Chains A and B, each alone.
Chain A
Amino acid sequence: MKRRGRGMACMWYPIGFTVSANPSAAVVKIDEDGTATLLTGTVETGQGSLTVLAQIVAQELGIATDDVQVVSADTDATPMDTGAIASRTTYVTGNAARLAAEKAKEILFEVAAPMLGVKADQLEAKDHKIVVKGYPQRNVHIGDVASHARVVMGQPPIGSASFNPATVPLDPETGQGKPFGTYVYATQIAEVDVDDETGEVEVIRIVASHDCGTPINPMLVEGQVEGGISMGVGFALEEEILFDSQGRQINPNLTNYIIPTSLDMPEVEVDIVDNYDPTGPFGAKGVGEPTLVPTAAAIVNAIYNAVGVRITSLPATAEKVFAAIQAKRDAQPKQITA
Chain B
Amino acid sequence: MDKKPTVAEKVSPLKTVQETPSVLREPVIAPLVTYPIEVVVPEVRQQTPAVGQRATRLDGHLHGLGQTRYIDDLSFPGMLYAKIKRAGVASARIKSIDTKEAEAMQGVMAVVTGKDVPCNSFGPSLKDQPVLAYERVFHAGDGVAAVAAVTEQIAAEALEKIKVDYEVLTPVLDPLESLKLETPGVHAPSANIYQSKIIKKGDIEKGFAASDHIIEGHFRTQMVEHVPLEPHATIAMWDPNGRVTIYSTLGRITLGRADVARTLGIPVSRIRIVATIVGGNFGGKNEITTEPVLALLSKKTGRPVKSVFTRPDEFIASTTRHPLIMDYKTGVTKDGKIQARKIRLVLDGGAYCSWSETTLGKACILSAGPYNIDNLYAEAYVVYTNKTMTGAMRGFGAPQVCFAYESHMDDIAALLNMDPLDIRLINVFSEGSLSPTGQTLQSVAIKESLLQAAKRFGWNGKGSADAGANLLAEENANTNMVRA
Contact = CB atoms under 8 A, between A and B. Distances in A.
Contact of B459 (A182, A189, A279, A307): A189
B242 interface: no
Contacts of B453: 8, 187-189, 207-209, 271
A75 B272 contact: yes
Contacts of B200: 173-176
Contacts of B222: 239-241, 313-315
Interface size range on A against B: 35 or more
A196 B225 CA distance: 29
Contact of A243 (B47, B387, B395, B421): B387
A59 B445 CA distance: 25
A29 interface: no
Nearest to A294: B402
B366 A13 contact: yes
A119 to B, nearest CB: 24
A14 B362 contact: yes
B109 interface: no
Interface in B89-109: 89-91
A282 B421 contact: no
B25 interface: no
A127 B47 CA distance: 8
A43 B224 CA distance: 24
Interface string B29-73: 000000000000100111111111111111110000000000000
Nearest to B60: A48
B50 A218 contact: no
Interface string B266-297: 00100111111111111101100000000000
A121 interface: no
Interface string A314-333: 11000000000000110010
Contacts of B176: none
Interface string A40-61: 0101111010110011101100
Given A9-B402, A254-B227, A337-B484, 15 more contacts: A83-B251, A176-B438, A241-B224, A241-B320, A247-B386, A257-B225, A293-B395, A294-B402, A296-B403, A297-B407, A300-B403, A304-B410, A305-B468, A312-B218, A313-B221
Interface of B: 41, 44-60, 88-91, 139-141, 171, 173, 197-201, 217-225, 227, 250-255, 257, 268, 271-283, 285-286, 311-312, 315-316, 320-321, 358, 361-362, 364-366, 369-370, 378, 385-388, 392, 394-396, 398-399, 402-403, 405-407, 410-411, 414, 420-421, 424, 428-429, 435-439, 441-446, 448-450, 452-454, 456-457, 459, 463, 465-472, 475-476, 480, 483-484
Interface of A: 3, 5-14, 17-19, 41, 43-46, 48, 50-51, 54-56, 58-59, 62-66, 72-76, 80-86, 126-128, 168, 170, 173-180, 182-189, 191, 194, 196, 205, 207-211, 213-220, 228, 231-232, 234-235, 239-241, 243, 246-249, 251-254, 257, 259, 269, 271, 273-279, 282, 285, 288-290, 292-298, 300-301, 303-315, 328-329, 332, 334-335, 337
21 contacts: A10-B406, A11-B398, A14-B366, A43-B252, A45-B280, A62-B49, A74-B275, A82-B254, A85-B252, A170-B437, A175-B365, A177-B437, A179-B361, A182-B443, A240-B222, A241-B222, A247-B91, A252-B311, A273-B452, A301-B420, A308-B469
